[in-house]
Amino acid sequence: MGVDTLTAPTEETTREGSEPQGGTAPNRIITILSPKGGSGKTTVGVNLAVELAARHPREVVLLDLDLQFGDVAGVLRLSPKNTIGGIARRWPVDSANLKLALTPHNSGLYTLCAPLTPAEADDVTAAHVAGVVSVLHQSFPYVIVDTDPGLSERVLSALDMCTDVVMVCATDVPSIQGLAKALEALDVVGLTAPRRHFLLNRSDAKVGVDLDEIEKTVGAPIDVRVPSSIDVVKATNGGVPIMQSRSNDAIVKSFERLADRFDSSANAADAPSSGGRRLFKRKG
């Protein structure tokens, strides 16, 4: 792997510019979005990443952009030695240092974890986010970005670069209305290029809002439904994502369906190539 200095992304490293030549689909940058807290972003991001890594070991990186209170490391029981905070403080850094900052997980997934303290989050700017996402995109077929609630500049920076957005919504009115407002805001600022995937979390909760109403308010059909289950909470608390423990069939099937939307082997017509340069060589 060459050692490229990380700077602000150039035209060549943006979404369009990184598309491989020869008609193959681009690698994927998948941002997990929900303007409201607690709707299930991290659960979705972690399980999608683990499932894609099971299918494509060492080709998936999960970036925790919940910079103040990111919990990817906690949910995966990782003890990161380096984080995106350290990358920002050593800026500009080269891709070799970025490689050293990744923390591997036993599922075959790599993570770039959030800073260890909320104060360190201030060190990370939108330009850092763009630079980091850009280099990861050149190296990994799948970059998955977990985010914090809201549409901060740093989240917008990831959205500006991504190929796909997974819009996570819970079944409560604030979550539904919040997502509708967020999508309107993205339309206003022209962030319409990423393909949108609408995931309804806790979709079977009987809380007096029907699915038609949710689709109408958000203005998009629901693509994937994830039911509610105590097994999800147990998986979060136990440090083993449900796509590894496979303790609940319905939840597993939901996340498989979500992964199928991005997976070349599951859906050739809609597939990203695995043609990006890799930071890590495959074993065997």
Contact positions vs Mg ion (CB under 5 A): 41-42
Using the rule CB under 6 A, which residue among 15, 28, 41, 58 binds ligand ATP? 41
Closest distance of CB 230 from ligand ATP, Å: 7
Rg (CA), the chain: 18
- Cβ of residue 40: shortest distance to ligand ATP, in angstroms? 4
- Look at the alpha carbons of 99, 25, 109, 75 in this order and tell me if their dihedral is positive or negative: positive
Indicate which of Mg ion, ligand ATP, none lies near residue 40 (CB less than 5 to 8 Å, by partner kind).
Answer: ligand ATP
Cβ closer to ligand ATP: 59 or 231? 231
Cα 179 to its chain centre, rounded Å, is 17
Let me know: does 245 contact 235? Beta carbons within 8 Å. yes
> Going along the chain, which residue ranges are E strands?
28-33, 60-65, 103-104, 110-112, 142-147, 164-169, 195-201, 224-226
Closest approach, Cβ 272 to ligand ATP, in A, equals: 24
Q: Please state at what angle helix 153-161 crosses helix 126-139, rounded to 10 degrees.
A: 30
Which option in ligand ATP, Mg ion, none does residue 118 bind, with CB closer than 5 to 8 A by kind?
none
Instruction: Work out whether 174 is an interface residue with ligand ATP (CB under 6 A).
Output: no
Query: Quick one: what does residue 55 bind among Mg ion, ligand ATP, none, with the CB cut-off 5 to 8 Å set by partner type?
Result: none
Q: Using omega within 30 degrees of 0 as the cis cutoff, is the peptide bond preceding 221 cis?
A: no
Coil, strand or helix at 60 = strand
Question: Does residue 176 bind ligand ATP (CB under 6 A)?
Answer: no
What are the residues facing 195 on neighbouring strands? 164
Nearest to 116 by CA among 158, 84, 75, 163: 84
Of 5, 12, 38, 187, the one binding ligand ATP by CB under 6 A: 38
Q: Which does 149 bind (CB under 5 to 8 A by kind): ligand ATP, Mg ion, none?
A: ligand ATP
Q: Is 40 in the site for ligand ATP (CB under 6 A)?
A: yes
Please select the residue that binds ligand ATP; options are 233, 250, 270, 277, rule is CB under 6 A. 233
Length of the chain: 284
CB of 32 to ligand ATP, least distance (A): 8
Least Å distance between CB 180 and ligand ATP? 17
Question: Cα angle at 269 between 241 and 266, to 5 degrees?
Answer: 30
Q: How far is the CB of 100 from Mg ion (least distance, A)?
A: 25
**DSSP helix/strand/coil, 257:** helix
Least distance in angstroms from the C-beta of 197 to Mg ion: 18
Residue 3 φ/ψ, nearest 5 degrees = -105, 100
What is the Cα–Cα distance from 56 to 130, expressed in whole angstroms? 24
Residue closer to Mg ion (CB basis): 53 or 62: 62
Q: Where on the chain is the footprint of ligand ATP (CB under 6 A)?
A: 34, 37-43, 66, 149, 201-202, 226, 228-229, 232-233, 236
